[in-house]
Amino acid sequence: MSTSTEDRQLQREVLDALAHDSTLVPGEVAVSVRDGVVTLSGYVWTYAEKCEALNVTLRSSGVNAVADEVRVRVPAGFHPSDSDMAGGLLRTVTNDLHIPVGAVHVTVQDGWVTLAGRVARRDQSIEIERVARSLIGFMGLSNLIETDAPSTGGAPQQPAQTFA
């Protein structure tokens, strides 16, 4: 069990790590520590920021447990429909990432994105996931995309599943 001095030191270290991350807006994520458990709270603009705050915290020395209470706020007057999100992601996948039409199927329900299908390389699946996480209104992800077998004739890679 941590002492209050150890908790305060851990809080300072996490706050410092968050402040030095150029992708996060200073002051959006609050940090509290009790008995060695770090609690993140506050509001960010994108799910990608939420994930970055969590990843930065988990990389901080001494962090073994995190309660993630950070919320994503959608700008007032702009809450994209699931249809808008799915269409935008599909256009990016085919036009910008040059994934053939029909290779990846996108489903969005209440901001939760499900990706399914097959791509040639694992990095393509990771890039599609990165784009999905940056969507306004994004709430979570299930990545069921499979990748083709390596050129050495190995078996196809199983889908990687990622949840919010």
- For 61, the 3-state DSSP assignment is coil
User: Cβ atoms within 10 A of the Cβ of 142, count?
Assistant: 17
* CATH class belonging to 4-72: alpha beta
pTM for this entry: 0.61
pLDDT, position 158: 53
Distance CA 71, CA 89 (A): 22
pLDDT at 95 over 70: yes
Average pLDDT over every residue of 8-13: 95
The tokens of 7 are what? 């908790």
Digit-coded pLDDT (tens) for 19-77: 999 999 888 999 999 998 999 999 988 888 898 999 999 999 889 999 999 988 876 66
* Selection from 81, 55, 78 nearest residue 66 by Cα: 55
Distance CA 99, CA 148 (A): 13
Domain residue limits, the chain: 4-72, 82-147
The domains spanning 4-72 and 82-147 adopt the same CATH topology: yes
pLDDT, position 153: 45
pLDDT, position 58: 95
Topology of the domain covering 82-147:
Histidine-containing Protein; Chain: A; (3.30.1340)
pLDDT, position 152: 39
Give all strands (DSSP E) within the chain, no chain letters.
29-34, 37-44, 66-72, 104-109, 112-119, 140-147
